């Protein structure tokens, strides 16, 4: 496998092979070289408030338990029994001091430590179980502004290094909640018949809404809801950003489509804690992609869970702001749900497009997808941050350069 089979990045053009959506070997490498060695978002601290709280999820295809142990520490434990691999926890959420394997009864504390092996006495030679001290775990777990990430690579840089300069935008995002931190509610969950990278590309794609979401804009405009105007405004004042770590941002337009009275009340709450310039920055709407699997959006956290090379789950968690009039959260929730919920006016159109891309990617004739838009009009802000117009494909290039570095040993100095 050669990087030149999948990526063309020659200064004039940026092309990606559609086989990145269909190739089993690439997918296998992604599970190793992206989802094990990168920092990967796993949960939000507000989902695990009390000691013993846990949830089960996946890091790539690795089944994990994210648990808050009795000392309050967050653990990312491999959900596979050290005996013969059964998952030790099948519930998706709960509170427990221990996880007892249903198969032969090996039991583990909520920090992963082995409590005991059933009928151990006399059954094993001396030293036979000396390496079995508990559930396996992520090499590192770190939180930033309530966002919990882990990596299985002991050599990985710190989370702060992985975030790089996107961190200041993560701060702006987290500061949307006047009282830190926001609280996540149970997610809208979708599945689509396409590769996981399509969702990664799409959330920071400012080129498609005017076309793909015309239907939603026409509908809302017909009923007097200012939606196209908002979208046009975003295209006028908006920006996209790409970062050398593979992160990306689509930004522009007002953060919350609140009615004027609620907006004024929200601004007052923010002004009590921040100066005016920062308030204006916080109020800019952003979709922040943190490589490889999470979007921080104006109303929600959107996570991407690869299920196979051509099947993906997406979860959209509404983030409730704290320290605001409850009516503000109600209006934000209703807006988010109407746009991006399971039965929203916008979200299903995106997911259906991914199915269309997956079908088209089976073409043997189509060698390359064109992601060259805006090359030549990007502004280099230093520290590996590029900025361009909202319809430019700077975010997608940032994502695929980092992807290619990890999966195909793409040289770093070609990056920016």
Partner 1 sequence: MTHPTETLTHSVEQFLYREARLLDERALEEWLTLFTPDGIYFMPMFGSSDPVREPSVLFDTAGTRAQRVYQLLHTPHYAQIPASRTLHQVTNIEVWQNADETVAAYAVTVVHEVRPGDPGQVSIGQVRTIEGRARYDLVRASDSWLIAKKTVELLTHDLPVRNLSFIF
Q: Which residues bind ligand FES (CB under 6 A)?
A: 81, 83-84, 86, 101, 103-106
Of positions 358, 394, 396, 415, contacts partner 1 by CB under 8 A:
358
Q: Which residues of 133-153 are buried (b: 16+ CB within 10 A; e: fewer)?
A: eebebbebbbebbbbbbbbbe
- Give the single-character DSSP code of 84: T
DSSP labels, 40-65: EEEEEGGG--STTEEEEEEETTEEEE
Under rule CB under 8 A, residue 289 binds partner 1 = no
E-strand stretches of 294-350: 294-296, 300-308, 311-320
Closest CB to Fe ion among 350 and 378? 350
Under rule CB under 8 A, residue 201 binds partner 1 = no
Q: How far is CA 328 from CA 177, 178, 264, in A?
A: 11, 12, 10
Of positions 4, 308, 342, 412, contacts partner 1 by CB under 8 A:
342
Tokens for 408, please give them.
Answer: 């195909």
Residue 227 interacts with which of ligand FES, partner 1, Fe ion, none, CB < 5 to 8 Å by class = none
Cβ 15 vs Cβ 370: under 8 Å: yes
- Dihedral angle computed from the Cα positions of residues 328, 330, 335 and 337, in that order, rounded to the nearest 10 degrees: 150
Closest CB to partner 1 among 185 and 263? 185
Residue 84 interacts with which of Fe ion, ligand FES, partner 1, none, CB < 5 to 8 Å by class = ligand FES
Residue 35 interacts with which of ligand FES, Fe ion, partner 1, none, CB < 5 to 8 Å by class = none
Q: How far is CA 220 from CA 194, 203, 346, in A?
A: 28, 21, 11
Residue 416 interacts with which of ligand FES, Fe ion, partner 1, none, CB < 5 to 8 Å by class = none
Residue 98 interacts with which of partner 1, Fe ion, ligand FES, none, CB < 5 to 8 Å by class = none
Q: How far is CA 128 from CA 6, 100, 120, 123, 365, in A?
A: 47, 21, 11, 10, 56
Of positions 212, 230, 387, 416, contacts partner 1 by CB under 8 A:
212
Closest CB to ligand FES among 65 and 305? 65
Of positions 329, 372, 396, 415, contacts partner 1 by CB under 8 A:
329
E-strand stretches of 96-247: 98-100, 107-109, 114-116, 140-144, 147-151, 183-184, 188-192, 239-243
Under rule CB under 8 A, residue 359 binds partner 1 = yes
User: Of the ranges 54-62, 174-182, 288-296, 331-339, which one interacts with partner 1 (CB under 8 A)?
Assistant: 331-339
Closest CB to partner 1 among 79 and 361? 361
Cβ 108 vs Cβ 133: under 8 Å: no
Closest CB to ligand FES among 80 and 346? 80
Residue 136 interacts with which of Fe ion, partner 1, ligand FES, none, CB < 5 to 8 Å by class = none
Residue 216 interacts with which of Fe ion, ligand FES, partner 1, none, CB < 5 to 8 Å by class = partner 1
Q: How far apart are CA 144 and CA 380, in angstroms?
A: 26
Contacting residues toward Fe ion, per CB under 5 A: 350
């Amino acid at each position: 496998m050669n990087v030149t089979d999948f990526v063309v990045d020659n200064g004039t053009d940026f092309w990606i092979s559609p086989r990145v959506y269909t190739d089993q070997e690439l997918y296998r490498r992604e599970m190793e070289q992206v989802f094990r060695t990168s920092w990967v978002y796993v949960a939000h601290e507000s989902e695990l408030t009390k000691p013993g709280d846990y949830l089960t999820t996946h890091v790539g295809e690795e089944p994990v338990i994210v648990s808050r142990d009795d000392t309050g520490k967050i653990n990312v434990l491999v959900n596979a029994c050290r005996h013969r691999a059964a998952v030790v926890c099948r519930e998706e959420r709960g509170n427990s001091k221990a996880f007892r394997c249903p198969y032969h009864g090996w039991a583990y504390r909520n920090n992963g430590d082995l409590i005991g092996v059933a009928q151990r006495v006399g059954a094993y030679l001396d030293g036979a179980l000396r390496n079995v001290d508990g559930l396996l775990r992520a090499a590192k777990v770190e939180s930033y502004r309530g966002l919990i990430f882990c990596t299985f690579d002991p050599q990985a840089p710190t989370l702060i290094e992985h975030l790089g300069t996107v961190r200041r935008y993560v701060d702006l995002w987290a500061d949307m909640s006047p009282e830190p931190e926001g609280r996540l509610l149970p997610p809208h969950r979708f599945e689509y018949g396409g590769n996981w990278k399509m969702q990664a590309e799409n959330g920071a794609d400012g080129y498609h809404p005017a076309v793909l979401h015309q239907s939603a804009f026409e509908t809302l405009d017909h009923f007097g809801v200012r939606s196209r105007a908002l979208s046009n405004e975003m295209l006028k004042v908006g920006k996209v950003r790409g970062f050398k770590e593979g992160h990306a941002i689509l930004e522009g337009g007002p953060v919350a489509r609140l009615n004027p009275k609620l907006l004024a009340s929200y601004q007052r709450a923010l002004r009590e804690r921040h100066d005016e310039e920062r308030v204006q920055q916080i109020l800019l709407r952003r979709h922040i992609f943190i490589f490889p699997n999470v979007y921080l959006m104006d109303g929600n956290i959107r996570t991407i869970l690869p299920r196979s090379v051509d099947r993906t789950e997406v979860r959209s968690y509404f983030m409730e702001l704290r320290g605001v009039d409850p009516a503000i959260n109600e209006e934000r929730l209703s807006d988010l749900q109407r746009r991006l919920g399971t039965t929203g006016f916008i979200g299903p159109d995106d997911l259906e497009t991914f199915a269309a891309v997956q079908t088209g990617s089976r073409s043997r004739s189509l060698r390359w997808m064109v992601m060259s838009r805006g090359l030549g009009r990007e502004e280099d802000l230093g520290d590996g941050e590029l900025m361009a117009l909202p319809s430019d494909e700077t975010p997608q290039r940032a994502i695929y350069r980092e992807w290619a570095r990890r999966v195909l040993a793409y040289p770093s100095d070609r990056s920016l």
